[in-house]
């Protein structure tokens, strides 16, 4: 079947927007049973909320508690991933693979690592605190938000996106409430207690903090918005982020997933479909749209200190018109390089020297696998690396 022209050319014409949104909904109805996407429930999940890949899922490995390196600390540059398919986080040598795992709680999602070496992990049961140097769980802080029974799978309740304040004194975690709006819970990192809660939108996929710590940005997947929270007053305001409109509601695949805060001006960057980069000014609530080139459904995003954006493409919504999984590397001047990937992926981190990207294979839908793709950003080569059970969140220690 021949490819249709890239959808971007049509979607950026104002008079064609309605027609494009209608087409997207039609594609959803025709292909939801076949493709990896983000539609709300139904789909391929089992009755317990868990999912399986086409190749079948091996049993989750028991958590390892091997000793750290001979120096007594975890080596710099080690990767830490959340095992969404288990109850652990796994430490991964970027050259050799898994080193050890630590139990943290059911279905861990996002994580954030502080300058003190403590990792904060959003699980279905609470925020786990892990000493990354000794590879030990120090505590688990329960949520104050009622999320129902502890379950696994894409729509489970509990923590999703998570971030640290710049001074390390607060942890901000987006808590999903199945079937309703979520909350942003604020954890005091000294007392290890939830000290405040703020209502946000539905399914808070991602949480980011402004460079000065004055605002928190919660990307609400199922309500097509970003909630901006003033960290002083805890006042919240909603900014709609829906470059393709909100038609289809919970069944739409054209929703925001992850954001990155641009270092140069504090604007939020949210990639959509490998076609549109929505640039949001959180102060005014106004958005601009810039062209992207990957033409694939996008999830995870991160940004380097120089403003280079990396966005993970999970695969096509419409195989007749869209391209496969990829990693887009977008320079501050807007020029992009797209690295093809083998199979769906979810999130990405970059080595401290900026030469290597690590893309997690966990994915929130079918097609996930137990490893990472390592991308040589200079030479363009890629290879796979074993890493935990359905690794989703990732950080470079």
pLDDT of residue 72: 55
Query: Which tokens go with 183?
Result: 């909350």
321-373 pLDDT, tens digit each: 999 999 999 999 999 999 999 999 999 999 999 999 999 999 888 889 999 99
**Whole-angstrom Cα Rg for the chain:** 19
Query: Which tokens go with 337?
Result: 């390089």
Residue 131 burial (C-beta neighbours within 10 Å; 0-12, 13-18, 19+): middle
pLDDT of residue 65: 38
pLDDT of residue 365: 83
Cβ atoms of 375 and 356 closer than 8 Å:
yes
pLDDT of residue 43: 32
Q: Tell me the sheet residues that pair with 336.
A: 330
Question: How far is Cα 50 from Cα 162, in angstroms, rounded to an integer?
Answer: 22
For each successive 10 residues of the chain (397 residues), what is the average pLDDT? 37 36 39 39 30 33 40 85 98 96 98 97 98 97 97 96 98 97 98 98 98 98 98 98 93 95 98 98 97 97 98 95 97 98 97 97 90 96 96 98
Residue 317 CB partners (closer than 8 Å, separation 6+): 24, 27, 28, 31, 35, 37, 253, 273, 297
> Phi and psi at residue 25, in whole multiples of 5°?
-70, -35
60: left (phi over 0), alpha (psi -120 to 50) or beta: beta
Residue 124: CB atoms within 10 A of its CB come to 26
3-class secondary structure, 153: coil
Cα 372 off chain centre by: 14
Question: How far is Cα 16 from Cα 372, in angstroms, rounded to an integer?
Answer: 39
Domains in the chain: boundaries: 1-34+263-338
pLDDT of residue 303: 98
3-class secondary structure, 294: coil
pLDDT of residue 38: 53
pLDDT of residue 98: 97
Residue 284 CB partners (closer than 8 Å, separation 6+): none
């Amino acid at each position: 079947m021949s490819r249709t022209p890239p959808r971007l050319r049509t979607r950026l014409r104002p008079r064609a927007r309605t027609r494009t949104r209608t087409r997207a909904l039609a594609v959803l109805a025709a292909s939801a049973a076949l493709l990896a996407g983000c539609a709300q429930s139904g789909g391929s999940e089992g009755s317990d909320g868990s999912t399986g890949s086409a190749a079948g899922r091996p049993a989750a490995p028991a958590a390892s508690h091997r000793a750290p390196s001979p120096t007594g600390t975890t080596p710099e540059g080690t990767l830490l991933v959340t095992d969404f398919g288990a109850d652990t986080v796994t430490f991964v040598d970027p050259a050799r693979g898994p080193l050890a795992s630590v139990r943290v709680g059911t279905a861990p999602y996002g994580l954030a690592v502080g300058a003190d070496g403590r990792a904060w992990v959003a699980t279905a049961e609470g925020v786990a605190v892990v000493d990354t140097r000794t590879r030990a769980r120090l505590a688990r802080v329960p949520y104050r938000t009622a999320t129902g029974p502890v379950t696994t799978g894409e729509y489970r309740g509990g923590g999703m996106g998570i971030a640290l304040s710049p001074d390390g004194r607060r942890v901000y975690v987006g808590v999903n409430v199945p079937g309703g709006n979520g909350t942003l819970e604020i954890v005091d990192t000294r007392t290890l207690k939830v000290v405040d809660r703020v209502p946000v939108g539905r399914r808070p996929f991602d949480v980011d903090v402004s460079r000065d710590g004055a605002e928190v940005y919660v990307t609400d997947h199922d309500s097509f918005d970003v909630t901006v929270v003033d960290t002083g007053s805890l006042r919240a305001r909603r900014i709609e982020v829906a470059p393709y409109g909100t038609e289809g509601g919970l069944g739409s695949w054209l929703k925001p997933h992850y954001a990155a805060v641009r270092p140069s001006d504090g604007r939020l960057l949210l990639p959509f479909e490998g076609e549109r980069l929505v640039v949001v000014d959180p102060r005014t609530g106004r958005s601009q749209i810039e062209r992207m080139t990957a033409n694939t459904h996008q999830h995870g995003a991160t940004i380097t200190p120089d403003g280079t954006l990396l966005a993970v493409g999970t695969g096509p919504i419409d195989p007749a018109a869209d391209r496969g999984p990829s990693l887009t590397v977008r320079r501050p001047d807007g020029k992009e390089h797209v690295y093809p990937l083998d199979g769906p992926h979810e999130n990405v981190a970059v080595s401290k020297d900026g030469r290597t990207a690590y893309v997690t294979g966990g994915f929130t839908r079918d097609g996930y696998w137990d490893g990472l793709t390592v991308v040589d950003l200079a030479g363009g080569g890629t290879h796979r690396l074993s890493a935990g059970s359905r690794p989703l969140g990732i950080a470079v220690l």
